[in-house]
Structure 1
Amino acid sequence: MATDEVRRFLAALPPEERSAVEGRSPQEQERLAAAWERELESDDELDTLDELSPPAAEAEAARRVIEREA
């Protein structure tokens, strides 16, 4: 469900970025959340980090997605 994915993506963001993303349209939020999921799935470094700290891996993937958007 896209809403759960967006909620998880928003939770992985630092507060200032979360506020900025929450101000975007629901479609844009879903697009960013989908990019975040792809980042988590495709990066081997994040797989290793995920084994040590899943929240850290999610936060790093979120940071990368937001950085690409800037």
Structure 2
Amino acid sequence: MPTDAVERFLAVLAPEHREAVGARPHEEQERLAAAWEQELASDDALDTLDELSPPAAEAEAARRVLDRGSD
């Protein structure tokens, strides 16, 4: 299991998003990973999902971060 925040973030992305985000500059990857960790920590609805399925909660947080980044 990856221990670096960027590696963990990339690991939960769908393959097509993983490739696109992996091609971005490392600083942007770090920014997205930090936003992902913040989303996981701050959203109470994700806490409930995390109790049921941690991978689903991580994937949902990643989707939200990417959706905000494309606005």
Aligned to 1:24: 24
More helix per residue: 1
Aligned to 1:69: 69
Give, as a single letter, the amino acid of the residue that structure 1 aligns with 2:9.
Answer: F
Structure 1's unaligned 5+ residue stretches are none
Q: CA RMSD in A?
A: 0.9
Q: Provide Cα deviations, 1:7-31, integer angstroms capped at 9, x if missing partner.
A: 0000110000000000000100000
- TM-score, normalised relative to structure 2: 0.93
**C-alpha distance in 1, partners of 2:7/2:23?**
14
**C-alpha distance in 1, partners of 2:66/2:17?**
8
1:65 is displaced (CA, Å) by 0.2
Aligned to 1:9: 9
Structure 2's unaligned 5+ residue stretches are none
SS at match of 1:9: helix
Identity within the alignment, %: 74
Aligned to 1:37: 37
Runs of 4 or more, structure 1, over 6 Å off, are none
- TM-score, normalised relative to structure 1: 0.94
